[in-house]
Amino acid sequence: MAALRTTIGAGVLIGAGVLLALAAPASAAAPSLATNSGWLLRQADLAIASVTGELPANSGLWLADFGTQRSEPKVSDGQRKPLVPMLMSMVVPGAGELYLGYKRGLLLIAADAAAWYGVAHNADIGREKRDEYYAFADVHWSKDKLEAAYDPDYDPSHPEYSGIIGIGTDYFGVNGYDDLPLWVSAQDDRREYYENLGKWDQFVFGWDDFQDPRVFLQLDPEDFDIANLRDPRTSANREIYRQMRQDSNDAFARRDRFLYLNLGLRVISVLQVAYLEGLLFGNGGASSRRPHQLEIAGRQVDLIVEPIGFSRGVIGAKVSF
């Protein structure tokens, strides 16, 4: 029975020693276990010897390990270096290339500066033209006139609105402009308020040069076809307003395209740095004298760039475990 207990105890020690020996290289968070694994293996061998009278054939493995200290594997500068220029390229395209000694980075820096100028310049133009069409609407469009168009009981003695009283109700069947589904005041939403004035036909009655399309189209007085309100002759000022607003929107669209260019330059610069450092298409890249392997938390990371046709592609990363 004592021999059996001794054998069981030896088995437990052997199992613990093997598990620790296997786990030690993969576990950077437990250096003390890796350091003491030789001692545990020695105790297991001694326990087996107490039963069999012989040491295992591989018992000498713990002799070199016993009493020694293991240090954590250190990440070399060559492994850390790729992260620095790649992060620099994310902030300023071309900075990573200059960090590595490639003057081509100056071209990307110049392109990025030009793109930022395009962003600022077109944003200024867009805001300037927006203020212009806001002011134009304030002069040529009236909420009071719109109110008259949607109120059949509006005071008919008003000289400016006498010809349009109730006409909006005839076209859209709404009694009261504030019941229009798209109505919003300038106080509630300034941007949408000015957008609606030129965009939707139900607000055309507020323009100071509004003309009833039934008159110049010589239509029946009972013909209230909403499509006729889109005739440019209904309000020339609304057409001018629409063009002014379109000019502002075009400037903002150019601003956005320059912003996309800024983002694209950063992607290009990061990928170029990764290629120069040998992190793309093998371990040599464009410069085999700089063979680096990117690692994060001790795991190998491979960057993947795969073109799809002429206009699309896939960018990703593969982590090895």
Q: What is the pTM of this model?
A: 0.62
Which residues make beta-bridge pairs with 305?
A: 315
d(CA 279, CA 275): 6
108 burial type by CB count under 10 A (0-12 exposed, 13-18 middle, 19+ buried): buried
Dihedral through CA 212, CA 218, CA 223, CA 224, nearest 10? -20
d(CA 268, CA 180): 50
More confident residue, 124 or 297: 124
Count Cβ atoms below 10 Å from residue 73 Cβ, excluding itself. Answer: 9
Q: Could you tell me how far CA 16 lies from the centroid of its own chain? A: 49
d(CA 302, CA 285): 12
d(CA 231, CA 72): 80
What digits encode the pLDDT tens for the residues 267-301? 999 999 998 888 775 444 444 444 455 566 566 66
More confident residue, 157 or 132: 132
Using the predicted structure, report yes or no on whether residue 314 has a pLDDT greater than 50. Answer: yes
Q: Summarize the confidence of residues 218-247 as an average pLDDT.
A: 95
Residue holding tokens 């000289």?
A: 159
**DSSP secondary structure code for residue 27 in this structure:** -
More confident residue, 21 or 263: 263
pLDDT for the residue numbered 302? 65
Q: Where are the domains of the chain?
A: 2-65
Using the predicted structure, report yes or no on whether residue 49 has a pLDDT greater than 80. Answer: no
Residues of the chain above pLDDT 90, percent: 53
pLDDT for the residue numbered 158? 73
Q: Which of 56-60, 187-191, 265-269 has the lowest mean pLDDT?
A: 56-60
**DSSP secondary structure code for residue 318 in this structure:** E
pLDDT for the residue numbered 50? 56
